[in-house]
Structure 1
Amino acid sequence: MLDKTIYKQIFKASFNAPIDVEFWDGEQVSYGEGEPIAKIILHDVIPIKDIMAHASLTFGEAYMDGKIDIQGDLQKLVTTIYQSKDSFMNNSKFSKFIPKHAHTEKVSKQDVQSHYDIGNDFYEMWLDPTLTYSCAYFASEEDSLETAQWNKVRHILNKLHAQEGETLLDIGCGWGTLIFRAAKEYHLEATGVTLSQEQYDYVSQKIIDEGLEGRVHVYLKDYRELTETYDHVTSVGMFEHVGKENLSTYFEQVNARLVDNGTALIHGITGQHDGAGVDAWINKYIFPGGYIPNIAENVNHIMQASLQIDDIEPLRRHYQRTLEMWTKNFHDVEESVIAKYGERFYRMWDLYLQACASSFESGNIDVVQYLLTKGASATNLPMTRAYIYQADVAHGVK
């Protein structure tokens, strides 16, 4: 009979809340005191050598393949793993992972398209009608996901203090929610750039459908290929894709794309502590080539790029709620997703959404908005933050 001692040691160290575990031979073990928040069912032996090599990748694949089932609250289960300092997610013996370093323009395009070109119809199944795939901004407890996404777009544009007739570049524009709002509500000439063919086709057609030729532009190209300058630059959920070795280039490009005294709002997932980095399972199945920098890394690159920091706003709890709403939407279309993409794909995305919500809930990662200016002499921003919230109220963010 297989000795399960090492497995039990791993599980004992990995939870700070009561958990039940049922092994492949029917043995059941309870960890912690009180009512269990979840039950882990192992249908098959998970090789110890694989756990020791890459625990996150091994357990993630086992869940995708149905070798592990979870009864109960999956998000709470992953949260308690993050919160336990000796768990396989925090112990370097189990979690060491060195990401790939190739982020040429060709590789970056392949990485982005592997995620975003699954198909617009897939994202339309569970995103809100704005097709916004980034952290929302909940101005009140009653905000729907769609309202909160509009809040986020307006909150970003309000921080820029943009004036009618000015120009804006959105690096990694997604399905264009921000650039369309910038043009229609803030009367800016807005340009988006993306590496996703699906997103490019969608935005291009929408420009025509809404009669916004000349006011909204979109390019299918790498941000490093751009040469024009703009009054304002935004980038939402983008720097997580560029790779550790390209962060300096990314912020240098933000600087290069701004006119003197221009403003930029950079919004992205950021670690508040060392070691946010990369998760092996997410790198393989969700975001190939991705890297989550910590605040110190970003600030260092911002300084080296000669950009001035005017404001930093963490939105961790907002992203937790966003992901929880996405998860509910995703569960509502479970049958449709499985019918089109298969059960393994569904389990993969379900684990991804809930594990990310857990990561934000536990404080393992954060999402931060950096308001930057090109040059310390910029005088286009008011002296206090009051202008942001006044503009939020004026634009219905309240």
Structure 2
Amino acid sequence: MRFGDGTGEPVHIVIHTRKAERAIALDPSLGFPEAYMDGELDFIEGNPLEFLRIAYQNMGLSAAHSITMRVNEGARKLFRRLQQINLPGKSRENVHHHYDLSGDLYRLFLDDDMQYSCAYFPRPDATLEEAQLAKKQHIAAKLDLKPGQKVLDIGSGWGGMGLFLARNFNVDVLGVTLSTEQLTVSNQRAADQHLDNRARFEFADYRALKGPFDRIVSVGMFEHVGLNHYRTFFEKCAELLSDDGVMLLHTIGRSYVPAPTAAFIRKYIFPGGYIPSLSEVMPAIEKSGLIVTDIEILRLHYAETLKAWRERFMAKRDQVVKIYDERFARMWEFYLAGSEASFRWQEMVNFQIQLSKQRETLPLTRDYMFEAERQLTTGTRPAFSDAAE
């Protein structure tokens, strides 16, 4: 069967089994990637990203067009809260599923600092390393940091953000993670960089922490909180934050109406994960006592980040197969392509939400952000005084 007028880039797929045909017809959002993972579907021309471009550009933002798709998506939306009961034990299990994969896998496609979240591209030709450094600078500028402050990093990953803040702002950082793999790497990096007197990392759930902290930063963790727990999250952050404190939340979000997590992502990549619309986040913030002081929407930055990851992953795909197997490599190939497609042609964006407890905590204009970012990018930050150290 042929579709289109022949003017676009050709994508040629072959479905090998009747089982795959039925699965795709009944539930394409899950059946298609599963068929690809299992080798029951192959690409003769093109690849998953090019296929998804055709699909998304022809379906628009609302992808559930057939009756079957509408029924499936309706059921997933109805039961999405049941899929996100992320109590502490379940949260640890969900994190282990994805973040405790072999560190060798992530080193194949991430930047040198192991940043596994949306980069910030100050110019179109920036490298992944430049864009990830720019992301850390961009976030740090919004925190309005002062030497000697106590900083909490919720969901600290492999430690890159916490170490960056400790090194450049002379602050004391506590990073918390539920990944044993990330914890080991983070503390080893702190020791290797002689920053273990300024940055330490612990295996802890944010709900068990005690404050206060002058600053809180959370990058790429909120996606795992779950819709049921938004109010708990922000109320706990308000409790942990000092009266004159500042928080910066960086998370994936939707620019469209709320929708359930993609079935493939929920089943194979991020169990318990959920991507919110801004309308789902704001009510929880308003009830927590925190004040929204700034919101920025990053639009295509994650699409470019994922493009870089996917290209690096595909260049070393043979090594992925050696670490795991062919089915795993296909699963991750589809995950990276599908994620890039959702940011490039669907409704996915990133939110950066700045919060405080008091109106007067931060300067009246945003000039302080621009100046701090300029100093970081040009290397002109003032040296710390002996008193501050």
1:66 aligns with 2:39: yes
Q: Residues 87 and 140 from structure 1, CA distance in 2 versus in 1: closer, same or farther, beyond 3 angstroms? A: closer
CA contact (8 A) 1:276 1:364 kept: no
Identity score, percent: 36
Counterpart pick for 1:396 among 364, 373, 377: 377
- 1:268-297: per-residue Cα shift (whole Å, max 9, x none)? 011111134301111110001111111111
**Separation in 1 of the partners of 2:308 and 2:378?**
19
Q: Residues 220 and 214 from structure 1, CA distance in 2 versus in 1: closer, same or farther, beyond 3 angstroms? A: same
How well do the aligned residues superpose, as a CA RMSD in angstroms? 1.9
Unaligned runs of 5+ in 2: 380-389
**Separation in 1 of the partners of 2:137 and 2:304?**
19
1:174 aligns with 2:157: yes
Counterpart pick for 1:367 among 320, 330, 350: 350
Q: 1:33 Cα deviation (Å)?
A: 5.2
**Separation in 2 of the partners of 1:68 and 1:313?**
40
1:378 aligns with 2:332: no
- 1:226-256: per-residue Cα shift (whole Å, max 9, x none)? 0121001000011110111111111112211
Deviates more, 1:118-127 or 1:203-212: 203-212
CA contact (8 A) 1:37 1:77 kept: no
CA contact (8 A) 1:117 1:197 kept: yes
Deviates more, 1:340-349 or 1:209-218: 209-218
Q: 1:214 Cα deviation (Å)?
A: 2.9
Structure 2 counterparts to residues 1-398 of structure 1, below 5 A: 28-32=1-5, 34-46=7-19, 50-51=23-24, 54-70=27-43, 71-83=45-57, 84-85=59-60, 87-88=63-64, 91-96=69-74, 97=76, 98-99=79-80, 100-375=83-358, 377-379=359-361, 381-396=362-377
Deviates more, 1:91-100 or 1:260-269: 91-100
Q: Residues 54 and 252 from structure 1, CA distance in 2 versus in 1: closer, same or farther, beyond 3 angstroms? A: farther
Q: Residues 397 and 169 from structure 1, CA distance in 2 versus in 1: closer, same or farther, beyond 3 angstroms? A: farther
Q: 1:378 Cα deviation (Å)?
A: 3.0
**2:386 corresponds to:** none
CA contact (8 A) 1:255 1:305 kept: yes
**Separation in 1 of the partners of 2:234 and 2:5?**
46
**Separation in 1 of the partners of 2:341 and 2:216?**
31
Q: Residues 342 and 73 from structure 1, CA distance in 2 versus in 1: closer, same or farther, beyond 3 angstroms? A: closer
Q: Residues 89 and 213 from structure 1, CA distance in 2 versus in 1: closer, same or farther, beyond 3 angstroms? A: farther
Aligned residue identity for 1:55: P
Secondary structure (helix, strand or coil) at the match of 1:384 reads coil
CA contact (8 A) 1:79 1:359 kept: no
CA contact (8 A) 1:191 1:218 kept: yes
**Separation in 2 of the partners of 1:332 and 1:89?**
35
Q: Residues 372 and 79 from structure 1, CA distance in 2 versus in 1: closer, same or farther, beyond 3 angstroms? A: farther
- 1:321-365: per-residue Cα shift (whole Å, max 9, x none)? 000000010011011111221111001001000110100011321
**Separation in 1 of the partners of 2:64 and 2:31?**
11
- 1:14-44: per-residue Cα shift (whole Å, max 9, x none)? xxxxxxxxxxxxxx32235523442222122
Secondary structure (helix, strand or coil) at the match of 2:108 reads helix
**Separation in 2 of the partners of 1:333 and 1:48?**
31
Aligned residue identity for 2:291: Q
Aligned residue identity for 2:229: N
**Separation in 2 of the partners of 1:69 and 1:191?**
46
CA contact (8 A) 1:55 1:89 kept: no
Aligned residue identity for 2:37: M
Secondary structure (helix, strand or coil) at the match of 1:395 reads helix
Secondary structure (helix, strand or coil) at the match of 1:369 reads strand
Q: 1:209 Cα deviation (Å)?
A: 2.1
Output the TM-score relative to the length of structure 1.
Answer: 0.88
**Separation in 2 of the partners of 1:109 and 1:36?**
43
Deviates more, 1:287-296 or 1:361-370: 361-370
Q: Residues 77 and 48 from structure 1, CA distance in 2 versus in 1: closer, same or farther, beyond 3 angstroms? A: closer
Deviates more, 1:190-199 or 1:252-261: 252-261
Aligned residue identity for 2:48: L
**Separation in 2 of the partners of 1:129 and 1:276?**
34
Aligned residue identity for 1:349: W
Q: 1:80 Cα deviation (Å)?
A: 3.4
**Separation in 2 of the partners of 1:183 and 1:59?**
45
Secondary structure (helix, strand or coil) at the match of 1:168 reads strand
Aligned residue identity for 1:388: M
Output the TM-score relative to the length of structure 2.
Answer: 0.90
- 1:288-319: per-residue Cα shift (whole Å, max 9, x none)? 11111111111111111111111111112110
- 1:43-73: per-residue Cα shift (whole Å, max 9, x none)? 2224676446533111111010111123215
Q: 1:200 Cα deviation (Å)?
A: 0.6
CA contact (8 A) 1:262 1:378 kept: no
**Separation in 1 of the partners of 2:353 and 2:209?**
22
Deviates more, 1:199-208 or 1:230-239: 199-208
